[in-house]
């Protein structure tokens, strides 16, 4: 099948619960041109290793459906910013193992939350995240890129400011293997205005000056239930939150964003709501 290269890459988070390879057909049926998955249960520490058969089925499903980019998300439990010995150890192990899984499946990007420094200070968190990413990439034999997701500005969180993302990237020597996943809800919640063309231009200019647009790998295209700078990590359907249709249209037309894989992570009720959101986002891209 022809690669989906000419159409915008836009999709949702797809469940891979029953079998990872089925996620391609599910995504295609909904109308996605890219998608995000968990490669394992995101709410448990334990996981089963991938079998050769699972890997082969996944790669064959991708070849058949022609998806250009596939994104995975780290499980929820790890806290890469933590200095607490047991948490640090299992969090770093989980990241390293997840990168290996993504490498074997040929997944392009692995998005990770950065966690909380638990009151130890931002620079402690920055160093801990950078060390975790560097160690994970040292045992990686593939090409999966680890993307740092900007946070919504909750107390003690690391990575809600662009400067913090840049500091982490600067501390990881594996060039080309790291980048940023920009979550629009999180950016807005942490104080970066995205409500219209001028605001988007200003915020993205700051992103480019601080982080660099070449570091942007994926965009989590989420509207925000909370207001600007409210530090509330609550996603809303595209165009229905505080960023609104005007802001979302400006985001989708920004040159640094429009050609990136765009993933919506709203709590969808069913496939119909996924299709509706894809349709709204595509209408705003025109």
Which residues are tagged catalytic? 43, 73, 76, 113, 149, 183, 186, 220, 233, 235, 265
Going by C-alpha positions, the residue among 20, 183, 180, 172 that lies closest to residue 101 is: 20
- Tokens at 149, concatenated: 């997701």
Q: Which of 34, 31, 37 is nearest to 16 (CA)?
A: 37
CA–CA dist 273, 264 (Å, integer): 11
Which 3-state string (H, E, C) describes 55-103? Answer: HHHHHHHHHHHCCCCEEEECCCCCCCCCCCHHHHHHHHHHHHHHHHHHH
Nearest to 212 by CA among 170, 247, 272: 170
Question: What CA–CA distances, in Å, run from 189 to 68, 137, 258?
Answer: 31, 30, 21
191: tokens are 């104080």
Backbone conformation region of residue 159, classed left if phi is above 0, alpha if psi is from -120 to 50, else beta: left
Token duo for residue 254:
């920004």
Measured N-to-C along each axis, helices 122-138 and 162-170 cross at an angle, to the nearest 10 degrees, of 40
Task: Answer left, alpha or beta for residue 153, where phi above 0 means left and psi between -120 and 50 means alpha.
Answer: left
The 8-class DSSP code of residue 144 comes to P
Residue 114 in contact with residue 147, Cβ under 8 Å? no
As given in the structure block, the two tokens for residue 101 are 């899984």
């Amino acid at each position: 099948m022809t690669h989906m290269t000419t159409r915008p890459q836009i999709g949702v988070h797809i469940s891979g619960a029953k079998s990872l390879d089925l996620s391609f057909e599910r995504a295609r049926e909904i109308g996605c041109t890219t998608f995000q998955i968990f490669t394992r249960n995101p709410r448990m520490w334990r996981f089963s290793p991938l079998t050769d058969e699972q890997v082969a089925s996944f790669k064959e499903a991708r070849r058949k459906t022609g998806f250009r980019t596939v994104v995975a998300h780290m499980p929820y439990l790890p806290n890469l910013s933590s200095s607490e010995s047991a948490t640090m150890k299992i969090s770093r192990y989980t990241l390293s193992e997840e990168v290996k899984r993504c490498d074997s499946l040929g997944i392009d990007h692995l998005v990770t939350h950065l966690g909380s420094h638990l009151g130890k200070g931002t620079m402690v968190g920055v160093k801990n995240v950078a060390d975790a990413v560097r160690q994970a990439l040292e045992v990686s034999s593939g090409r999966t890129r680890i993307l740092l997701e900007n946070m919504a500005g909750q107390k003690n969180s690391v990575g809600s400011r662009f400067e913090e993302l840049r500091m982490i990237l600067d501390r990881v020597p594996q060039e080309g293997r790291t980048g940023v996943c920009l979550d629009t809800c999180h950016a807005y919640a942490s104080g970066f205005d995205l409500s219209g063309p001028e605001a988007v231009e200003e915020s993205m200019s700051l992103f480019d000056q601080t982080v660099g647009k070449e570091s942007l790998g994926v965009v989590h295209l989420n509207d925000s239930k909370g207001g600007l700078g409210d530090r509330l990590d609550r996603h809303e359907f595209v165009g229905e939150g505080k960023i609104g249709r005007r802001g979302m249209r400006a985001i989708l037309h920004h040159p640094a964003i429009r050609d990136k894989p765009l993933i919506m992570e709203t709590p969808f009720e069913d496939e119909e709501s996924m299709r509706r959101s894809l349709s709204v986002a595509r209408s705003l891209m025109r």
